[in-house]
Amino acid sequence: MAARILVVAEDPSLQRMLADTVRGEGHDLLTAVTGPDGLRRWNVDQPDLIILESHLEGFDGYTMVERVRDAEKVGLHVPMIMLGDGTEVADKVRGLRAGADDYLVKPIHAAELLARMRSLLTRFGPVERATVGPVRGQVHAYYGAKGGVGTTTIAVNTAVALHRIAHRKVVLVDAGLQFGDHRVFLDLGPDRRSIVDAVASPTIDSEFLRHLVVHHESGIDVLLAPPTPEQAEQVLAHKQHMIQIIDALRTMYDYVVIDLDKRLDDHSLDAITAADTLFVIMTADLSCIKNVRLVMETMAQIGLPDDKVQLFMNRSNAFTGISVKSVEGVLRRPVRYQVVNDYRVAISALNSGEPFMHHRADSVLGRSLLEFVRAIDSRPAIAHAPVRQPGRMVPALS
């Protein structure tokens, strides 16, 4: 019987060696890089065996072993193999006392590791369980009903707040493939890795994406848009590149936050149908309200469930002569979320490349967005099956 094996390692070359060894035996591979992430994957995915480095970020392998042992239910025991750097007997003793079943000194020989794995799996055996998929994070897509409504500002700062305030593991995806703005909003240089590197691989999986996301100082990871418009052509809708990327990312993060392009092309529609929730960002002006109506009609045409589309009013306190209540009456849909207007804070954050939820979370704008983040973080997941076929084009909204 194939076992589910969790590998927790931060060294890329060791990750590849362990992955090849596990997959070569026909086992299912789960991966993590840090101690906290490894503990979360153990808790959610219930592996049959854990292989982990002694040195990890967040907290080390010894601490992870101790926490797993402390939290295990009576009668259950997941075998663990620790991989250590030192040759001192004290290091091995420390690992075994923490609760590891075996300890190997690096560099690791695949043949020896296989023998230890087989021995432990024979002794404890794979757990008989109902078939379940890997952990699946929430996917939130943000679409602006027209340009200039603040979609990227909302998406970027929501991602930061979900990590810093709600303590979630978050990845931000810049799906504005031709003219993505996240390099500017997050003060990231033009020579960073991007989504183009992901689609250049024969297979798009979590292990590959882990090395392509850019870690921002706020704590979130970012999958950037191509650095030049012409490179966007390498992301192919007929190969469903966007869906493959999203499916892989949601096994790695609690939240995948997608900042959509203004065009409702195949890439955007793939992201929307893969998402758990679509937030339509709007302001209280007639042209925007007109576009929201068109968006709602388009979503209905492709079969998107009503509860998946949520209206979000940005700059809700700005005087436009149109109230939120009037907007709801015209659209016959409630505006679920509102964030106030604070132009100075928003434009200062943009020009400095520092999200206001990272440096100005105590501002009026920050407190307003925090209410939104708390609301969406408490919402349960809504399972929706894909509703469209690839290849269907929808014209851009003006």
Render each residue's pLDDT in the chain as its tens digit; 398 residues: 678 999 999 888 898 899 889 988 888 889 888 888 888 889 878 899 999 999 998 889 999 999 999 888 766 889 999 999 866 788 889 999 999 999 999 989 998 999 999 989 988 876 554 444 445 789 999 999 888 899 999 999 999 999 988 888 999 999 999 898 898 898 887 767 899 888 888 778 887 888 889 998 898 999 999 988 898 899 888 888 998 999 899 888 999 999 999 888 889 999 998 899 999 999 999 999 999 999 999 998 888 888 899 999 998 888 788 888 999 999 999 999 999 888 788 888 888 888 888 888 889 888 899 999 998 885 444 444 444 444 444 444 44
Distance in angstroms (rounded) separating the CA atoms of residues 362 and 221:
23
The reported pLDDT for the residue numbered 320 is 82
Task: State the first-to-last Cα distance of the chain, in angstroms, to the nearest integer.
Answer: 56
Residue bearing tokens 């979900």 = 162
Using an 8 Å Cβ cutoff, are 103 and 96 in contact?
yes
State the alpha helices, DSSP H only, in the chain: 12-24, 35-45, 61-71, 89-98, 110-124, 151-164, 182-185, 195-199, 206-210, 241-249, 266-274, 286-301, 324-331, 343-352, 356-359, 364-377
Using an 8 Å Cβ cutoff, are 369 and 341 in contact?
no
Identical topology for domains 4-124 and 138-377: yes
Contacts of 358 (CB under 8 A, 6+ apart): 160, 164, 217, 218
For β-strands 309-314 and 277-282, DSSP reports them as: parallel
The domain made up of 138-377 has a fold known as Rossmann fold (3.40.50)
The reported pLDDT for the residue numbered 75 is 67
CA dihedral 337, 248, 210, 1 (to 10 degrees): 140
Q: How many residues does the chain have?
A: 398
**pTM metric for this prediction:** 0.63
> Residue type at 166?
A
Contacts of 269 (CB under 8 A, 6+ apart): 302, 388, 392, 394
Distance in angstroms (rounded) separating the CA atoms of residues 75 and 298:
53
Domain ranges for the chain:
4-124, 138-377
For β-strands 170-175 and 4-8, DSSP reports them as: unpaired
Q: Is the peptide bond before 79 cis (omega within 30 degrees of 0)?
A: no
The reported pLDDT for the residue numbered 132 is 43
Burial 225-254 (b: 16+ CB within 10 A, else e): bbeeeeebebbebeebbbbbbbbbbbbbbb
Domain 4-124, architecture per CATH? 3-Layer(aba) Sandwich (3.40)
Distance in angstroms (rounded) separating the CA atoms of residues 137 and 169:
9
